[in-house]
Structure 1
Amino acid sequence: MAIESITKTLGSGSGIDISALVTSLVEAQTATKAAQLTAKNETLTAQISATSSLKSAINSFDTALKSLIRGGAVSTQPTSSNTSLLNVSVLSGASAAGLSAQVEVRQLASGQVANSATVADKSAAIGQGTLTLTFGNTTVVDGEMTAFAAGPGTPVDITIDATNSSLQGVADAINAKKAGVTASILTDSTGSRLVLKSATGASQGFTLSAAETAGHEGLSALAVGVGATGTTIGSAAQDAIVAIDGVPVRRAVNSIPDIIPGIRLDLVAASVGTKINIGSKAPTDALQQAVGDIVDTYNELYAQLKTATDPVTGPLRQDSAAKAMLRSLSDLSTRALVSGGVAGSPKSLSEIGVSTNRDGTLTLNSGRLTNALLSYPDSVEAMFKMGAGLSAQLSSIAVSASSTIYGLGASETRYTKAKTALTEQQTKATEAAEVLRTRMTRQFASMDSAVAAYKSTQTFIENQVKAWNSDS
C-alpha cells in the first residue's frame, strides 16, 4: 500500500513521470534475461511436444500392425464348404497353409437336461433331506433313464433343510455346490418346474437321488435316474462325433481344437452322410493392402521425424534418441524379416517391392509385390507373423523409442525437468524485477520529495524579494 501511495504522487515535485521512468529502467535491466528465459521455455515446450508426438506415432504404428496380425487378416485362413454345419478357424500362432481335409459331423455333443413336474408355488416347501448328485454314462429312451454307469468322480451331497426346502431353494443349493450341474426354475401358465443341465459329453450324464428326512418327505419327486417317475430327461448327455477323412473321432465338446493340428473345428449342426471340405485361402488381397498401408504410415512417421530432427529448425536436432530412431527406421525396408524358406524367396520388404527413395521415404512397386505373393506366398505371409518379422522389428523400435533410460521417454523426462527448473527461474526473475522496481520507486520518491522542498524554498524566497521590492 505504501508503494502504491508513492507511485500515485511521483513527479509532483520534479514534474518528471517517475513511474514510467522506473518501468523503463527495470525493463532495461531485466529484458534480456526475460527474453532468454522465454525463448528457452518455448524451445523446451517444442521439444516436449515433439518427443511426445513421436512416441505416440511409433507406438500407434506398432499397435496397428499387431492388431492387424492378431485379427488374422494377413494370415492364411481355413475355409469350410458348409458353414451351416461346420466353422473352422486357425489357432493362435498356427498356420492354415496346406490345409485339406473332409469332415462329416455325425453327432453334436450335448449335456443332460432333466426337468421336474410342475408345482404351483416355487416358494412353497417341498421336502427335506439330502440330494446326491452322481456323474456317469447314461442310456435314455423316450425321456426315461434306462441304464446308468457311475463315473470315477465322488458323488456330491446337497443338504436340503427348512431354510432351502422350496423349489427355488433347492435350485440355489445345487448351484451353490458348483458341481457341474446348473439348476434353474422354468415357469409358465401351468406352474414352475426345476430344470437341471450338465456340461456336454457322454460322461456328464447324472443321477440325482434323494434321502428324505422323516416327516418332511417330498424330495423324491425331484429324483433323476433309473426308475425315477417325477422327472423327465429332455436331452441325454452325449459326445460329439466327427469323421475326419472317414475316420470317426469322439469329443465331449462342440468346439474342438485338437483333432487337426493348429485348427479349431466348431460344430454347428449334425448331418450324417454330408461331407464338408475344409481347405485354406491365402490373404493375397489383404497383404497387398497391408503393405500399402505400412508404406503410407511409415512415410507419415518418417516425415514427422525428419521435421523434428531438421539440423536448422528441428526442436530435436541435437537429441540422440530421435536420431537413433531415425536411423532404425531408415534401414527397416532392407532388414531380413524371415529366415530359411525356399531358395530365392524374399526375406525383406525391399525384396517384395518396397524401395527407399533418396529422401528416405518408401515407395511400393505393386507389380513386384504381386509377383512375390504369387511366387512365394508363404514367405511374404511369414513377414507378418505376430512376434516375428516386421512386427518384431517395429516393436523393437517402439520399445527403444519409449525407453525412459535411453529413448525418447528419457528425453521427454529430461526436457520436462528442465522446463520445471526454468519456470522456477522465471518466477525468481519476476520477483527480482519487482524488488528492483520497489527499490527504484522509493529512491525516486525520496528525490522527488527533496525537489519539492527545494521548490518550496525557492517560492518563499521569490515571494520575499517581491515583497521587499514593493515596499521600496
Structure 2
Amino acid sequence: MTTTTATTSTPTPTPASTASVTKSAAQSVLTSLSTGSGVDTDSLVTNLVQAQFAAKNAAIAAKTAALTAQISTTSTLKSTIAQFSTALGTLTGGGTLQTQPVSSNASVLGASAIPGAKVGQLSSSITVSALASAQGARSAAVADRTATIATGKLTLTLGTATYNGAGTAMTGFTAGSGTPVSIDVTDGSLDGIASAINAAKSGVTASVITDADGKAVLSLKGTTGAAQAFTLKADDAGSALNQFNVGVNTGTLTGAAANAQLTVDGVSVQRSSNTISDLVSGVKLQLNAVSAGPVSLSSTRPTAALAQAVSDFVDTYNQVYAGAKSATDPITGDLKSDTAAKTLLRSLQSLTTKTLAPGSSAGAPTTLAQLGIATGRDGTLSVNTDTLNKAIAAYPDEVEAMFATTSSNALGLQSSLSGISLAASSSVYGLGASTTRYTKAQSDLTIEQDKITTLSDAMKTRMTQQFSSMNSKVTAYKSTQTFLENQIKAWNKDS
C-alpha cells in the first residue's frame, strides 16, 4: 500500500495567473487614481485584442469544426463498410446459402456440404457396418500418482494388430513403416510418465485417472484406424517402467484399433476415421452409429434463403451507399474532396456489374444485375423478384457460387465486398490514411491556436500597461486642472 504525504510549497505562477495579477494590479492603480480618464480600460483592451485576432480565431474555429466533422464521417464510413462486409461473410459462411446434403437418418449418418462444392444432384445410399475405433490401454493401479516409480526410456511403435474376441488383449502386432518413438522419462511419477508420453506427440495420448478407491491409473489412447495400433515397451527389461508395457499378450487393453466399414452405393469401403470427406463428392460424412439398413443421401436447395439474402443485401447496400453519397456530396459533403471516400463510392457502384461467378455455363447469370438487381437514378438498388426467382430456378449452382465464401470463389460477392472494405480501411491510401491526415491537420491547428493565444495575451498585457500609464497622466492633468480652476476662482473672489 502506498501513502501520500501532503507538502506545502509556493506555487509557480502560470501565464494565466500572471495575466490575472497584472490585470488586477492595473485595475487597482486606476481605482486608486480616482476617476482617471473615465475610460473602461479593461473592456477597451479586451475588445481591441479580440478585434485584432478575430479573423484568425474564426478561421481556426471553422477549420477545426470541419476537420472534426471529417474525422467523424471517415470513422463512420470505415465502420459501416466493415460491418457490411462482416455481416455478409457471416451469412455466406454459415452454409444457409449453399445446397446441403440431407441424411435420412442423421443419428446414424450425418452429412454436410464441403464449402464451394456442388451437391445439387446428390443421390447416394450408404450402410454403416462398423465404426472406426482406437486402441486403448490401462495400467495397474498405483497408490500415489506423485511418487517416483522409475526413470528411463520407453519406446512406442505404431502398426497393425490382431486382438482376442473381447478386444482386451493383443494377439499379434506388425510394426508400420514409421520410425519408433523414443520417450525419455525424467520425472518417474505416474504424472511425469503421462507428461513424457504426451510430449512425444506420437499420436498416443496419456492421462492419469483416479479410480473409486482413490488409486491412480495410467490411461493410454491412440488414434482411430487399423494402422494406428501401438505397443509400448521399456528399454530396460529390469526397470519398474515395464509395468506400463503394452504389446502382444502384455498389458490390459480397453479398446482395439479398427477401420470404419461401410458400403457406398453397393461398394464396400473402409476408412480410418469416422469423419470422411473423400467418398461422396462435395460431402463430409460423420459416422455416428452402425446402421440397421441403408441410409439415403439427397440434397435440398436454399431457394428461399438465396432470395432473402439478395433482398437483405440490397437493403443494407442502400444504407451504406446513402452514407457514402452524403459524405461525398460536392456541395454539402464533409468528404467532398476526399479521394478515398470517392473511391469507396465508385467501388460500391461497380458491384452490380462485376463478374462474380467466372466460368459459369453459357447463359447463366454472372453479375448482380443479371439476377434482377437494378440501379436507380439516385444510385440505390432494387430487386426484380420475378427475374431473381427465374435465375435461381434455372441456374441454382451459379447463383450459389456468387454468394460462396471467399475460399470457394475468390471473385464472389463476399470476396469483392471484403476487398472494398480492406481498401477503405487502408492506412496508406484508404480512409485510414484520410483519418491520419485530418488528425495531423487538427493537431497543427491546435498549435497555431496556442500561438495566437500567446500573442493575444502578450498584446493584452502590453496595452493594459500602456492605458494604465495614459490614465495616470490624464489623472495628473486633471489634478493640475483642478488646482488652476480653484486658483482662478480665488483670484476672481479677491478682486
TM-score, shorter chain, exceeding 0.5: yes
Partner of 1:296: 315
Deviates more, 1:189-198 or 1:17-26: 189-198
In structure 1, C-alpha distance between the alignment counterparts of 2:265 and 2:422, rounded to whole Å: 47
Query: For residues 78 and 59 of structure 1, what CA distance do their matches in structure 2 show?
Result: 32
Which of 188, 200, 203 is matched with 1:177 structurally? 200
Do the aligned partners of 2:22 and 2:461 also contact (CA within 8 Å) in 1?
no
The residue that corresponds to 2:219 in the other structure is 195
Secondary structure class of the residue paired with 2:374: strand
Residue identity opposite 1:204 in structure 2: Q
Helix, strand or coil: the match of 2:106? coil
SS in 1 for 2:55: helix
- 1:96 aligned to 2:100? no
Contact 1:140 1:233 in 2 (8 A): no
Q: Matched residues in 2 for 1:236 and 1:136: separation?
A: 12
Structure 1 position 309, deviation (Å): 2.2
What residue number does 2:341 align with?
322
The farther-off stretch of 431-440 and 254-263 is: 254-263
Residues 354-406 of structure 1: CA deviation (Å, up to 9, x unaligned): 22222221112223322221122122112112222322332343344334444
Letter in 2 for 1:258: D
Deviation at 1:22, TM superposition (A): 0.8
Code of the aligned partner of 2:325? K
Counterpart in the other structure of 1:450: 473
1:150 pairs with one of 169, 175, 178: 175
**8 Å contact kept, 1:81–1:278:** yes
CA distance in 2, matches of 1:358, 1:149: 75
Aligned letter for 1:293?
D
In the aligned structure 1, how far is the partner of 2:325 from the partner of 2:179?
70
1:252 is aligned to 2:276: no
Q: Give the AA of the match of 1:371.
A: K
Whether 1:204 and 2:224 are equivalent positions in the alignment is no
What is the CA–CA distance in structure 2 between the aligned matches of 1:157 and 1:319, rounded to whole Å?
Answer: 65
CA deviation map 1:76-99 (0-9, x unaligned): 222222111122223344333333
Please identify, of 9-18 and 298-307, the stretch whose mean Cα deviation from structure 2 is larger. Answer: 9-18
Instruction: Map 1:200-349 onto structure 2 (within 5 A).
Output: 200-210=224-234, 212=236, 218-228=240-250, 231-271=251-291, 273-349=292-368
Partners of 1:244 and 1:450 in 2: how far apart?
A: 115
1:407 and 1:127 map into 2 onto residues whose CA distance is 64
Seen in structure 2, the aligned counterparts of structure 1 residues 159 and 378 have a Cα distance that, compared at 3 Å, is closer
The residue type equivalent to 1:5 in the other structure is A
Moved more, 329-338 or 423-432: 329-338
CA contact (8 A) 1:111 1:205 kept: yes
Change (3 A) 1:379 1:212: closer
User: 1:293 deviation in Å?
Assistant: 1.0
Instruction: Report the CA distance shift for 1:354/1:156 in structure 2 as closer, same or farther (over 3 A).
Output: closer
The correspondence for 1:440, drawn from 451, 456, 463, is 463
Q: Deviations over 1:64-83 (max 9, x none)?
A: 22222222221222222211
Q: Which residue of 2 aligns with 1:33?
A: 56
Structure 1 residue ranges (4+ consecutive) displaced by more than 6 angstroms after TM superposition: none
Aligned length: 465
Going from structure 1 to structure 2, the CA distance change for 1:299 and 1:439 (only over 3 Å counts) comes to same
Q: Is contact 2:355–2:411 with CA below 8 Å preserved after alignment? A: no
Give the alignment partner of residue 430 of structure 2, picking from 404, 407, 423: 407
Distance 1:407 1:130 in 2: 60
> What letter matches 1:302 in structure 2?
Y
For structure 2, which runs of at least 5 residues remain unmatched after alignment? 1-20
Provide the rounded CA distance (Å) in 2 between the counterparts of 1:224 and 1:438. 96
* Cα drift, residue 129 of structure 1: 5.9
Counterpart-to-counterpart distance in 1, 2:242 and 2:419: 66
User: Are the counterparts in 2 of residues 128 and 212 from structure 1 also a CA contact under 8 Å?
Assistant: no
Change (3 A) 1:399 1:150: closer
Cα deviation code 1:295-322 (max 9, x no counterpart): 1111111211222122332212233333
Cα deviation, 1:157-200, whole Å, max 9, x if unaligned, reads 44567x51x44443333333333322222222343322221111
Distance 1:424 1:252, change over 3 A: same
Pairing of 1:127-166 with structure 2 (within 5 A): 130-141=153-164, 142=166, 143-158=168-183, 163-164=187-188, 166=189
Residues 127 and 212 in structure 1, CA contact (< 8 A), matched pair in contact too: no
Structure 1 match to 2:17? none
Partners of 2:118 and 2:397 within 8 A in 1: no
Q: Deviation at 1:14? A: 1.2
- Distance in 2, matches of 1:36 and 1:352, equals 51
Cα distance change of structure 1 residues 42 and 107 upon mapping to structure 2, 3 Å threshold:
same
Q: Alignment partner for residue 66 of structure 2, among 27, 39, 43?
A: 43
In structure 2, distance between residues paired with 1:378 and 1:159 = 55
Contact kept, 8 Å, 1:352 with 1:368, in 2: the verdict is yes
Instruction: Provide closer, same or farther for how the CA distance between residues 135 and 396 of structure 1 changes in structure 2, counting only shifts above 3 A.
Output: closer
2:3 corresponds in structure 1 to none
Look up the SS of the partner of 1:412 in the other structure. helix
The residue number in structure 1 matching 2:377 is 358
Deviation, 1:431, is 1.7
Distance 1:294 1:16, change over 3 A: same
Query: Percent identity between the aligned chains?
Result: 51
Task: Kindly provide the amino acid, as one letter, of the partner of residue 295 in structure 1.
Answer: V
CA distance in 2, matches of 1:119, 1:318: 78
2:389 aligned with 1:389, yes or no? no
Report the Cα distance in structure 1 between the residues aligned to 2:48 and 2:152, rounded to whole angstroms.
100
CA RMSD of aligned residues (A): 2.5
Distance 2:391 2:192 in 1: 67
Per the TM alignment, residue 331 of structure 1 is displaced from its structure 2 partner at its CA by: 3.8
Q: Secondary structure at the match of 2:223?
A: strand
Change (3 A) 1:423 1:131: closer
SS, match of residue 111 in structure 1: coil
